[in-house]
Structure 1
Amino acid sequence: MDIHGDQIQGARRQQEDSLAWTSLGDFQLAVVADGMGGHPGGDVASNAAIDSFVDYLRATSAERWQQPPAVLEAALRAADARLHVIERDDPALAGLGTTLAALLFAPDAVYRASVGDSLIYRLDGDRLARVNEVHGDGPMVSSCLGPALTRVDVAQLPPAKAPHPRYLIASDGIETLPESALAEAIGTAVSARAAVTDLLTRIDSTNAVAQDNVTVVAALPDY
């Protein structure tokens, strides 16, 4: 897969999102985390969660990789545990939390792992659909890494109906744009970098007064 990501701060005082993409042997990983706004250390939480998540996956033995969903869930719980250690060591960061959404591309399958309200989309032919659970209602998040890990969403994605599906992971600031704009940007892009640039430019051009941080990672077939 051709994978690329970037972010904008929007109208917020600081950037609390984090992102990463990397190769893990035969797998490719893309991940976005959105630090909890209004909580202390949102930027600390999102960075630490991604670092812990990726480190856990890198340290996983080849034998355990026979069950990718179990490995991904364990990595989420390791990231959650890391935030509790940070909170214990620095009381000023009590309550720090973050979402996390990831896609793992295997040679013959795609797996999702998410907690919170960050979004994973798949463009299947001309149909864009969210393919992960969202743990929240409006501004309220019902499950997140840190203060309230009550539910995780880990599963293999069902096969796409059309050849060469395209993927997008994003923090909820992307919701400034309608899904039709997301589909157009992803569907017409010649590369993952071009898709990301187009999406962030579109959001900037809306000049939304209360624009949230926006982080996007696009994954397109590498022909």
Structure 2
Amino acid sequence: MRTAFQSNIGRQRSQNQDRVAKFTSEQGPQLAVVADGIGGNQRGDLAAEIAIKSLGRDFMSDAPSDENEASSWLSVQVQSINNQVLKKSKEKSSYRGMGTTLVAAVFFEESVVVANIGDSRGYIMHGDMLTQITIDHSLVNELVKNGDLTEQEAARSPQKNIITRAIGISPSANADVNRFPFKNGDQLLLCTDGLTNLVNKTQISQVLSSNKKLTKKCNQLIKMANKAGGPDNITVLISQQDQERL
């Protein structure tokens, strides 16, 4: 398993509230995680930092040993992080309202278990086919599912940044957790909406299907988002099964 990641402040923000990390346990499984802090002045960056550090610490001390254990572990972890963020938000008035999205993946020999809450996304590239494997917890996505908006209208909607689920928003944090095949040569992309709001699926697919090193692919995706205006922080993480080069 090879992984590369990059985070960029974008062209219009004064602070980067995204966080990204990869952890490898002594037992062998690996964890990749991306978080997008929300709340602006309410310290979304701190909420994202809590999420990354807590998940990484617990993974390194007691990593799940199989897919079933990873599924329940991720669900429990998201709720635990939610409790920590809510507790922290009561310490200072400037912390009130802070929260974060989260998308995390635990890798096994031929599979990956993915958890998400919010609108940060996961994709799997298998051969030349790119598939979004997470569902956005957002208002516009609910409207699309109900038939009130087309996907094209949703992409242009001024409400597209309103999320319906996140860590730190309510006492209950319900993450979606699913398992997917992850075979030799497959790529997993985890990213924040700073990428997907500006770089479409076809463009992402073209980058992932290239022969470039993973680090170059990350860099190219961020450059594309910034070229399109870069109104938000941009974070991308790419993992490839048995990739030989970084």
Cα offset for 1:163?
Answer: 5.1
Cα offset for 1:217?
Answer: 0.4
Q: Which amino acid aligns with 2:174?
A: R
Residue 178 of structure 2: aligned partner: 155
Q: Counterparts of 1:189 and 1:18 in 2: how far apart (Å)? A: 27
Q: Counterparts of 2:216 and 2:80 in 1: how far apart (Å)? A: 33
Q: Counterparts of 1:2 and 1:63 in 2: how far apart (Å)? A: 20
Identity percentage of aligned residues: 24
Query: Are 2:182 and 1:164 aligned?
Result: no
Residue 198 of structure 1: aligned partner: 220
Describe how 1:58-97 pairs up with structure 2 within 5 A: 58-60=60-62, 67-97=69-99
Cα offset for 1:54?
Answer: 1.4
Contact residue 27 and residue 106 of structure 1 kept, 8 A: yes
Cα offset for 1:64?
Answer: 8.6
Contact residue 67 and residue 113 of structure 2 kept, 8 A: no
Cα offset for 1:34?
Answer: 0.2
TM-score with structure 1 setting the length: 0.90
- In structure 1, list runs of 5 or more residues that go unmatched: none
CA offset digits 1:155-174 (Å, max 9, x no partner): 211x36x7521110000011
Contact residue 65 and residue 71 of structure 1 kept, 8 A: no
Residue 8 of structure 2: aligned partner: 8
Cα offset for 1:8?
Answer: 1.2
Contact residue 111 and residue 154 of structure 1 kept, 8 A: yes
Contact residue 39 and residue 98 of structure 2 kept, 8 A: no
Query: Are 2:205 and 1:219 aligned?
Result: no
- In structure 2, list runs of 5 or more residues that go unmatched: 140-159
Residue 20 of structure 2: aligned partner: 19
Q: Counterparts of 1:62 and 1:29 in 2: how far apart (Å)? A: 10
Q: Counterparts of 1:189 and 1:45 in 2: how far apart (Å)? A: 36
Cα offset for 1:27?
Answer: 0.7
TM-score with structure 2 setting the length: 0.82
Q: CA RMSD in A?
A: 2.0
Q: Counterparts of 1:221 and 1:64 in 2: how far apart (Å)? A: 17
- Secondary structure at the aligned position of 2:125 is classed as strand
Query: Are 2:52 and 1:32 aligned?
Result: no
Number of corresponding residues: 219
Cα offset for 1:60?
Answer: 2.4
**CA, structure 1 residues 164+110, in 2 after alignment: closer, same or farther (shift >3 Å)?**
same
Q: Counterparts of 1:9 and 1:16 in 2: how far apart (Å)? A: 8
Cα offset for 1:77?
Answer: 1.3
Moved more, 166-175 or 21-30: 21-30
Contact residue 13 and residue 232 of structure 2 kept, 8 A: yes
Contact residue 125 and residue 163 of structure 1 kept, 8 A: no
Moved more, 22-31 or 96-105: 22-31
Cα offset for 1:183?
Answer: 0.7
Contact residue 119 and residue 130 of structure 1 kept, 8 A: yes
Describe how 1:36-47 pairs up with structure 2 within 5 A: 36-38=38-40, 40-47=42-49
CA offset digits 1:15-69 (Å, max 9, x no partner): 1100001112311111100001446001111111111111222232667986110
